[in-house]
Structure 1
Amino acid sequence: MIRSLFVLLTIGITQGMVLPVLPITTDSTTEIRGFCIAAPEPSEHERFLTFIEKELVPRNVNMLILRVDFNYQFESHPELRDSSALSKEQIRKIVSICKTNNINLIPQINLLGHQSWASKTTNLLRVYPQFDETPNVKMPEKYVWPNADGLYCKSYCPLHPDVHKVVFSLVDEIMDVFEAKDFHAGLDEVFYIGEDSCPRCKGKNKAILFANEVAEIRDHLAGKDRKLWIWGDRLLDGKETGLGMWEASENNTYPAVDMIPKDVMICDWHYVRSEPTAAYLSMKGFNVITCVWNKPQIALSQYEDYKTYKAKVNPKLAGRYQGMMQTIWSGAGSFLNAMDNAKTDTSKKDGQVECFTQLFEAINK
C-alpha cells in the first residue's frame, strides 16, 4: 500500500509529521456516549433488542460497538462462521433499532492480535494455520499465565501475502450488513509481532510492522469512505510510563504513535486508575475516547478528568476529546443476566453493572 511505503520512508526522519486528518463520522458537536459489548448469541437476540430500547436509549447512548468477530453467518467465508452465529436478518433488526434511536452502530472484528484465547485457537488461524505469526507455539491443554512461550493471544502474520484478502472480505461484508461508516479493528494487546519464528517478519521493526498494519486497514476502509477505530494501548510506552505490558506496550510498538494516520479514532482504555494518556494521544493529533470498565469510582474519576481536560485546554485540543465509552468484557447474555439480578436483588453487586449505571447517571446530569 502507498501509505505503508510512506511509513517506511519517513521512519526516523519525520516522525512528528502530522498526516491529513479526515473528519470522523460522529458529529463533532455531539460528545460520544458509547457502549461496547460482545454481539449477542442468536438465542439472546430479542432480549438484546429490548436492552437497547429499555437501557441504552433512556441513558442517551449514541454509539454502540458490537464485538462480532465470527458471530455472523458470513457468506464470503462461511468456513469462518461460529457454529451458532447471527443471521443477516437479526443484524438488520439491530441496525434498525439503532437507526431509529440515532445510535452509531459499529462492528468490531479483532485484527492482527486476539486470534486465540486461553487454550483455543479462534476461527481464522484454526482454518488458515498458514497465517499464524508463531506456528511453533502450540496451544496448551491447560492455559496458565505466565508461560514459557509468552503466549497470551496469538496473532496473524501481517506480512502473509494472503491474509488481507480473507480478513478484508469479512470486514467489507460486516460493514455492509451493519450499514456502518466506522469499523473497530481491535489491535489491542498484540504481544506477538515481528517474531523471529516468522520467516517474513523476523528482524523487522515492530513499530513499523504495527503502523503498517494499521495503515493497511485504514487505507482499505478509506477506499469506501469508512473510518478506522482501534484500542490505544499499543501506542503507549509501557516501560517509561509505568503502565506495563497490558495497558501499554513493552514490545516496542509504541513508536507507531508517530507513524499512523491521524484520522484513526483511538479508544484509550484504562481500568485500574485514571491515567493521563488521553491528553498525550490528543497532543499527538488523534481524536480520543476515554474507555472504562468495571470499577465505578475509577470510571467516575476518569469522567471528571475527561471533563477537566475538555474544559481547560485550548479549543483545538478540546475538540479531540470525543467522549466516554463503557466497555463490557463478559458475554452479552451474562451482562443482561447481571442487569436483571441487580434489579431484583440490590444485594447482588456486579462491577460492570454498577459502573454502567453510575457512569451514565453522571453523564446525563
Structure 2
Amino acid sequence: GCVVSSVSDFCVNPCVIGEYVGSSLVYFNCSNGCVDGACLQEGVNPSLAQYCANKVGGQDFEICDNELDDDNDDLIDCNDTDCNDQVDEGCTSNAKIPIRGLTLGLGKADVTPELLEFIRNDLKNEGVNVIQWRADYYHYQFPSHPEVSETSDTRPSLEESDVKQVLAACRDAGIYCFPGVSYFSHQGSGEDAQHRVGLLRAYPQFDITPATATKPARPTINDRSWNPYHPDLHPIIFDLTDDLLDAFEAQDFMVGLDEAYMMPTLETAEYAGTPYYQGQPYAEVYAYEYGLLHDYLQSRGVRMWIWGDELLKYDDWVERDANGNELWPSNEIMYESDTRTGNEATSPAIDIISRDNVIIADWHYIINPATPEYFASKGFDVVSSPWMRSNVALGQLNRHLNANASNAPHMKGMLHTTWVGVGDFMKAYKYGTGLSVPNDASQQVCAQGYCFTGYALGSANTFKDLMAEIRAID
C-alpha cells in the first residue's frame, strides 16, 4: 500500500495498517479497506466505523464512532469500538478538551450501589470521560504481594471484585478508568510509628533513609520515599503495577513522583546513608526512577502519568518586586514546584527524561501560571489539575483552549483533583449545592442529613463549574 500522508488520505481509505520500519512506525492504507489486518478485495467499502484489528506496539488501531483522529498520527488509538478502553483525543466529542477527567480515591467501603449510580448518571451527565482511581497507601489486595496490602477492620482493602463493579459502571457511562498509586514519594503515613506504610512497612530495607546497626536514620517525616537504587525493589513494584493494570484492564497508570521531600543521602557523622547511593545529583536520581517506571510501562503498552511539580524550578515561576522580594500569590507555587538548588534540584531532569508515552498532570490550586505551555514546549503531553478554586480551574481551561499551534497538540485537557475519598466527594456533589466552604476546609459541612468535608465541597463546586464550562464549549 501507499504511505498515508494526510488525514485526507485517511478519510478516503478508512482502514490503515501500521508497521514498524526500524524504530519508526509507518502507516499504510489499503485502497479498499481491511478486516483483521488484511486488505479487502476490490469493491468492498467498509464504513468509517469498521474495526481494523491490527495491533501495533501493543495497541489496537481503529476508527471510533465515525470520528477521525486529530493528533496528526492519522489513527485513533482505542481498544474497542466504543472507545472506552483507551484515552485518545479522537475518541471525544470535543477535540480542544480531549481529556475531561478527575482523580478519585477508592476504598472497599466506597463501592456501593450509590457510587455505581453516581458514575452511570451524574458523572456521565457532567461529561466526564476519564477517571483516575487512587489506591491510596496500598489499600488494595495485591495478589502478587499480599504482604504489602494495607487493611484493617475499619478500612478493609479494595479487592479485584470491587474494581470490576466500578469498571462496569464506568463502561456503561462511556468513561475510561485507570489506576494509580504514589510511587517513589508519599511512602509514609502518620498512622505508623515509623511513618511507613504498605511497601516500606513490609520491606523497611527499601526506605530511602534506613537505620543501620551503628547509626540512626534521618528524622522521619510523614512523606517518606523508597530507595530507587535498591536492587530488590523494582521487581516487586512491577508486580504491584501488573496487579492493578490487570484488575482495571487499563492502558494508563499514574505513578505520581510528586512532592519528593525525602531524597537519598550519603552517610554523615550523625546519620546512616542511603544504601547503593553514590552521590548522584537529585535530577539524575529522579530521572533514574522515572526511566525505570517509564520503560516498564511502555514495555506493556501502557502510558505513564506523573504529577509535574518536581520538574518546575521555583525561581522560574515566582514573581518578585524590584528588591527581589517574592510576591504573593505567585510564591504559592513553592508548594507546587522544585525549591531545591544546585545538585539537590530535581527540575533539571526535565531535559533528560523521555517524553514518549507520558502525560504530565500539572497541578496548581491557588495560581494559574503558564506551566502547561512550558511542559508542552518541552514536548510533553499535559493536562491541568485544579482543586478548590473555580477561577483557577477556568483559567487553566482557557490555556488549553487558547494554546498556540506548536503547543496545542500537547495540551490534552483537564484532570480535576479531589483529595478525598469518592464517598465524601459524592455527598458534597449531591447535597452541597449553594453551600460555602468553611475557613477550615477539614471541618464537616452538613446538609439534608448528609455530612462531608469542606475539601470535598470545594472540590465538588469547582468541578461543577469546570464541567459546565466545558459543556458550553461543546
Give the TM-score taking structure 1 as reference length: 0.85
Contact 1:292 1:326 in 2 (8 A): yes
Q: Which has the bigger relative contact order, CA under 8 A and spacing at least 6? A: 1
1:12-27 to 2 correspondence within 5 Å? 25-27=86-88
C-alpha distance in structure 1 between counterparts of 2:302 and 2:346, whole Å: 25
C-alpha distance in structure 2 between counterparts of 1:159 and 1:278, whole Å: 31
Give the TM-score taking structure 2 as reference length: 0.66
- State which of 251, 264, 276 in structure 1 corresponds to 2:370: 276
Contact 1:110 1:185 in 2 (8 A): yes
Give the residue type in structure 2 aligned to 1:57: K
Structure 1, unpaired ranges of 5+:
1-18, 138-147
Q: Secondary structure at the match of 1:117?
A: coil
C-alpha distance in structure 2 between counterparts of 1:352 and 1:237, whole Å: 27
C-alpha distance in structure 1 between counterparts of 2:180 and 2:129, whole Å: 17
C-alpha distance in structure 2 between counterparts of 1:79 and 1:46, whole Å: 30
Residue 122 of structure 1 aligns with which residue? 197
Contact 2:120 2:172 in 1 (8 A): no
Mapped pair 1:78 → 2:146: yes
Q: 1:86 to 1:152 in 2, by over 3 A?
A: closer
Give the root-mean-square deviation of aligned CA atoms: 2.3
Contact 1:40 1:333 in 2 (8 A): no
Residue 5 of structure 1 aligns with which residue? none
Structure 2, unpaired ranges of 5+:
1-22, 26-56, 58-72, 78-85, 93-97, 213-217, 267-272, 319-330, 438-456
Q: Secondary structure at the match of 1:364?
A: helix
Residue 155 of structure 1 aligns with which residue? 225
Residue 88 of structure 1 aligns with which residue? 160
Mapped pair 1:28 → 2:89: yes
Mapped pair 1:205 → 2:261: no
Contact 1:230 1:266 in 2 (8 A): yes
How far apart are 1:239 and its partner, in Å?
3.0
Offset from partner CA, 1:263-288 (integer Å, 9 cap, x none): 21111110011110000000000000
Contact 2:142 2:243 in 1 (8 A): yes
Q: 1:306 to 1:164 in 2, by over 3 A?
A: same
Q: Secondary structure at the match of 1:190?
A: coil
Mapped pair 1:63 → 2:130: yes
Mapped pair 1:297 → 2:391: yes
- State which of 288, 308, 313 in structure 1 corresponds to 2:382: 288
- State which of 221, 236, 256 in structure 2 corresponds to 1:186: 256
Contact 1:274 1:298 in 2 (8 A): yes
How far apart are 1:164 and its partner, in Å?
0.6
Q: Hey, which bits of structure 1, 4+ residues long, moved more than 6 A? A: 19-24
Residue 247 of structure 1 aligns with which residue? 336
Residue 225 of structure 1 aligns with which residue? 301
Contact 1:233 1:249 in 2 (8 A): yes
Offset from partner CA, 1:167-210 (integer Å, 9 cap, x none): 11110111011000001001110111232221322411111111
Give the residue type in structure 2 aligned to 1:304: N
Pairs aligned (count): 331
Contact 2:108 2:159 in 1 (8 A): no
Q: Secondary structure at the match of 2:261?
A: coil
Contact 1:40 1:48 in 2 (8 A): no
Contact 1:20 1:261 in 2 (8 A): no
C-alpha distance in structure 1 between counterparts of 2:347 and 2:24, whole Å: 21
C-alpha distance in structure 2 between counterparts of 1:43 and 1:99, whole Å: 18
Contact 1:231 1:266 in 2 (8 A): yes
Contact 1:36 1:66 in 2 (8 A): yes
Whichever of the two has the greater Rg, that structure is 2
Residue 347 of structure 1 aligns with which residue? 435
Contact 1:268 1:290 in 2 (8 A): yes
Percent identical pairs in the alignment equals 32
Mapped pair 1:324 → 2:414: yes
C-alpha distance in structure 1 between counterparts of 2:162 and 2:115, whole Å: 11
Q: 1:74 to 1:361 in 2, by over 3 A?
A: same
Mapped pair 1:52 → 2:116: no
Mapped pair 1:363 → 2:470: yes
Residue 131 of structure 1 aligns with which residue? 206
Give the structure with the higher percent helix. Answer: 1
Give the residue type in structure 2 aligned to 1:41: K
Q: Secondary structure at the match of 2:104?
A: strand
Offset from partner CA, 1:145-178 (integer Å, 9 cap, x none): xxx9583510000000111111111101110110
Residue 174 of structure 2 aligns with which residue? 102
C-alpha distance in structure 2 between counterparts of 1:347 and 1:101, whole Å: 28
Contact 2:130 2:177 in 1 (8 A): yes
C-alpha distance in structure 2 between counterparts of 1:224 and 1:206, whole Å: 28
C-alpha distance in structure 1 between counterparts of 2:222 and 2:371, whole Å: 24
